[in-house]
A = this chain, B = another copy of it.
Amino acid sequence: MQDLLKRFWAGEHRALARLISILENEESGRDELMRQIFSQTGRAYILGVTGSPGAGKSSLVDRLTFLLRRRDLKVGIVAVDPTSPFSGGALLGDRIRMQEHAVDQGVFIRSMGTRGSLGGLANTTKEVVRAMDAFGFDWVIVETVGVGQAELDIMHVADSVVVVLTPGAGDSIQTIKAGIMEIADIFAVNKSDLPGADKVALEVEMMLDLHTAETPWRPPVIKTSSVTGAGVEDLLSAVEKHRAYLMEKGLFQKRREARLRSETLEILDRQWQQLVRKEMKLSEEVNGLLEKVARRKIDPYTAASSILDYVVANSNLRSKKEAGAG
C-alpha cells in the first residue's frame, strides 16, 4: 500500500486507477488509504454535469475539458452511468470519443457503472472524486445520467451543477419535474442547432421565473452545441461566474464544511455496520435474534432494538477487556 501511495503521489495514472479500483471493490485498506490522502484534498473545483441519456453530456464534457486544458488546468473526469453494469476506464462506448485525451497526462477519465461499487454508486463516486482531488487535478468533472433520486444524490458532491437539456427530446419539462430544478446552477440547452432549442430555453426561463425569486442566484440558460462547439465558452464562463458567486457569498466554504460533516456521519454508519457484522461472527446472541425473526417468533422492530442494545453493551465490554489485556 505504501508503494501504491508513493506512485500515486508521484503522479502515476496507473496508481490512481488502482486506488480507484480499491475504492470501488471495497478492498481492505480502503479507509486507511482515504485517511492518508485526506490532507491533500479540498483543492479541486468539482463540476457536475447531468441530463437525460443522449443529451450529449459526454461530448460537452469533452469540449469543456479542451477549454480547461488550453488554460493549462488538469482535469479528472468521473463518468457515472447507473444503468450500466460496467466499471472501468475503457469499457463504456462513448468513452471512445475521449481517446484524443488519452495521450494527455493532464486528463484522466474513469467510467463507473453499477458493478464494482458495492457500497452504492453515490458513496463510491464521492470517494473517487476525493481521490482525483488528492491526485492533483484542478477540476474534477462528474458526469451522470439524471434518471432517479440516486443519481441526483451523486450531484451533491459538486460545487456547481450543469443540467443539460435538448430540444425535441420531449423530456425537458419531465426532467425539470424530477427535482432537477433544485440542483441546477446552470442550464445548458445542447444541440442548439436543432429546431426547438429556443422553445426549450424559453420554457426553462419561464420555470425559473416561477421558482427562483427567493434565491440570489438565478441559473443562466446557455445554448450550446457539442458538435460545433458553439456556446461552450459561454458555458464555462457561466460556471466561473457561479464559482465566483459561491466564493463571494461564503457559500463555497459553508457547503464544503456541511459536506464533510455529512460524509463523516455516513462513514460512521458504515463503521457501525462493520461492528454489527463482527458481532454476528463472534456471538450467538445476534444470530439467535435474527433466527427468531425468520421464524416469525418476534417482529423485526423488537429484534432490532435487542440487537442494538446487545452490540452496544458487548462491544463496550470487549474494548474494556482489550484495554485491560493490553
Chain A residues with CB under 8 Å of chain B are 31-32, 34-35, 38-39, 42, 82-85, 114, 121, 147-151, 174, 177-179, 257-258, 260-261, 263-265, 267-273, 275-276, 289-290, 293-296, 299-305, 307-309, 312-313, 315-316, 319
Contacts and interface: CB of A to CB of B under 8 A. Distances in A.
Contacts of A35: 299, 301-302
18 contacts: A34-B300, A35-B302, A82-B147, A82-B148, A84-B178, A147-B148, A148-B148, A263-B300, A264-B289, A264-B303, A264-B307, A265-B276, A268-B304, A271-B305, A272-B272, A275-B308, A312-B312, A312-B316
Contacts of A307: 264, 268
A293 B267 CA distance: 12
A34 B315 CA distance: 29
Number of copies: 2
Given A149-B121, A307-B268, A261 B31 contact: no
A152 to B, nearest CB: 9
Contacts of A147: 82-83, 147-148
A276 B265 CA distance: 9
B38 A300 contact: yes
